[in-house]
Amino acid sequence: MFEGLAGPALGVWVLDPRELLITNALGFPRCGDRRLKFLLESVADLRAQLRGLGSELLVRLGEPESVLPKLMRETRANRLRAVEEPGTEERAVEKRLRRAFAEDASLGEFDLLPVEALFEMDDDPRAAARELPEVFSKWRRKAEKHLEFALPDAMPTSGRLGGWPVEVKARDLPTLTSLGRAEPAYDPRGVLPFVGGESAGLQRLRQWVFAGDHLRGYKETRNGMLGEAYSSKFSPWLALGCLSPRLVVQETLRYESERTANDSTYWLRFELLWREFFRLYLLKHGAKLFRREGPADRPLDYANRPQHFEAWTSGGTGVPMVDANLRELAATGFMSNRGRQNVASFLAKNLDVDWRWGARWFESQLLDYDVASNWGNWAYAAGVGADPRGFRGFDVIGQGKRYDEQGAYVRHWLSDESSPNGRHPHEPWKDGGPNPIVDVRRSLADAEARWGQAAPGH
Ligand code: FAD
């Protein structure tokens, strides 16, 4: 971002109400309080860092395409620089800004750097996206064979960005209260007390990889659901750019040279390739990723019973593996990958609810919400995305028994009246508890039949 700049430079953060402050068509905030809090903390940390470099982070509320041209005049800057994002809404804003700069030469230059790629690429990532295979493993094999990991950009040195010649009001950072939101309660049952910002992200990186030495066993622990150590929990910081995936890769390579190299140390890079794949996948498919039929063009219909969706979001379906995960999400803003796969499959397949409702709920609740990873994974889970195989629906009861054998996870989150305390923590109805809101096995078989009838392109 700062490369090639002779300085001085100012940072700008524009809070776009369309993205962060509106209520969506399903009636909940597009960005929930917890995610907003994490974002505001991240911006505060960025401001502190820019000030440490002698610069400033200007903060404005509004639509970037109107705010930024005004700010160019106010600051008398001659160049605006931004990093391109793969999301369709972000790209539309970039397009409008580009037009504004093209129509008014007095605004100066608008310099859009290409989407940050994990690998060194000769071409713009857009070209790579056009040629992206539909199947992850095909792309991964090619990338691992032919491409080199890119190094993270160097940090600017202290004082280099300072000395802006015009006085400009930086303005206070908004707070949850000033934005009409409430401070979310902290739940000590969560995996981590997540704090936004690069400083906390770097601390987690050092702690998990080196101090805790957790990387060496990651492949064996990554399907866990309880505790801070089973997976890296880097995702909230990665999603906001507080941690660079390039830096994470470099740290895994350093760990391999200083400590040990094994399947686990490779596997974290493998998972980051999924993130990279979905970013390219969104660049490739654009608005198609947000349609019900998805990029696979499979015309599935859904019953969309509101009471089913309500039971799902509030963790009241009666299936412990599903409910515990959704309660964790609502209480903390985080859910493990194992949990996400199960609850996504359960919503779209067993409950027969449009997968995009679930993607919207995740968008609202997840601290690590990332447009490409979220919508790409949801489309995949719903069978309308990048999955090469036939119908895939999770046996959520079997998954609970396999990944939470003793029921410790479901007991951790379902500690109230629905507590699965009997001999069958994943099937409490066998101990006299209530039945789930759908017959789990039959509803999955019905979903498979619907899936088979909805052939792509019809
Ligand atoms: P680790 O297991 O430690 O993995 C390291 C990193 O690899 C992650 O931080 C993430 O950046 C990347 N990664 C791992 N798995 C995936 C994956 N399947 N897809 C993309 N990247 C991956 N991840 C998000 O970052 N944001 C989202 O909005 C998001 N929504 C999801 C929705 C669904 C329905 C599903 C099934 C998965 C979603 N994921 C999302 C992917 C994955 O669940 C999380 O990245 C992971 O659980 C975060 O925990 P971690 O950082 O401890 O992961």
| pLDDT tens for the 458 residues of the chain, in order | 667 676 799 999 999 999 999 999 999 999 999 999 999 999 999 999 999 999 999 999 999 999 999 999 999 999 999 999 999 999 999 999 999 999 999 999 999 998 889 999 877 888 889 999 999 999 999 999 999 999 998 877 777 788 898 999 999 999 999 999 999 999 999 999 999 999 999 999 999 999 999 999 999 999 999 999 999 999 999 999 999 999 999 999 999 999 999 999 999 999 999 999 999 999 999 999 999 999 999 999 999 999 999 999 999 999 999 999 999 999 999 999 999 999 999 999 999 999 999 999 999 999 999 999 999 999 999 999 987 778 989 999 999 999 999 999 999 999 765 667 789 999 999 999 999 999 999 999 999 999 989 888 65
Ligand 1 neighbour 243 (Cβ under 6 A)? no
Ligand 1 neighbour 369 (Cβ under 6 A)? yes
The atom number, within ligand 1, closest to the CA of 277 reads 20
Q: By alpha-carbon position, which residue is closest to atom 4 of ligand 1?
A: 271
In order of 93, 116, 280, 445, the CA distances from 85 in angstroms are 10, 8, 11, 39
In order of 38, 112, 149, 202, the CA distances from 43 in angstroms are 9, 21, 28, 15
Instruction: Return the pLDDT at 56.
Output: 95
The atom number, within ligand 1, closest to the CA of 340 reads 36
Ligand 1 neighbour 96 (Cβ under 6 A)? no
Q: By alpha-carbon position, which residue is closest to atom 15 of ligand 1?
A: 271
- CA–centroid distance, 201 to ligand 1, in Å, is 16
- CA–centroid distance, 338 to ligand 1, in Å, is 10
Q: By alpha-carbon position, which residue is closest to atom 10 of ligand 1?
A: 235
Q: Do 220 and 264 form a contact (C-beta atoms < 8 A)?
A: yes
- CA–centroid distance, 105 to ligand 1, in Å, is 42
Instruction: Return the pLDDT at 416.
Output: 63
Ligand 1 neighbour 117 (Cβ under 6 A)? no
Ligand 1 neighbour 214 (Cβ under 6 A)? no
- CA–centroid distance, 9 to ligand 1, in Å, is 34
Q: Do 224 and 339 form a contact (C-beta atoms < 8 A)?
A: no
Closest CA to 279 of 375, 406, 345: 375
Ligand 1 neighbour 110 (Cβ under 6 A)? no
Instruction: Return the pLDDT at 419.
Output: 65
Q: By alpha-carbon position, which residue is closest to atom 32 of ligand 1?
A: 374
- CA–centroid distance, 136 to ligand 1, in Å, is 15
Ligand 1 neighbour 238 (Cβ under 6 A)? yes
- CA–centroid distance, 441 to ligand 1, in Å, is 27
- CA–centroid distance, 38 to ligand 1, in Å, is 17
**Look-up of token digits 């930086």:** 170
Phi, psi of 293 (to 5 degrees): -75, -15
**Cα angle, residue 364 at apex, residues 358 and 365 outer, rounded to 5°:** 90
In order of 121, 214, 254, 258, 269, the CA distances from 251 in angstroms are 21, 13, 5, 10, 10
What is the 8-class DSSP label of residue 350? I
Ligand 1 neighbour 209 (Cβ under 6 A)? no
Ligand 1 neighbour 381 (Cβ under 6 A)? yes
pTM of the model: 0.97
The atom number, within ligand 1, closest to the CA of 358 reads 34
Instruction: Return the pLDDT at 387.
Output: 77
Q: By alpha-carbon position, which residue is closest to atom 14 of ligand 1?
A: 271
Rounded to the nearest angstrom, the gap between the alpha carbon of residue 345 and the centroid of all alpha carbons in its chain is 18
- CA–centroid distance, 373 to ligand 1, in Å, is 7
- CA–centroid distance, 347 to ligand 1, in Å, is 18
Q: By alpha-carbon position, which residue is closest to atom 31 of ligand 1?
A: 374
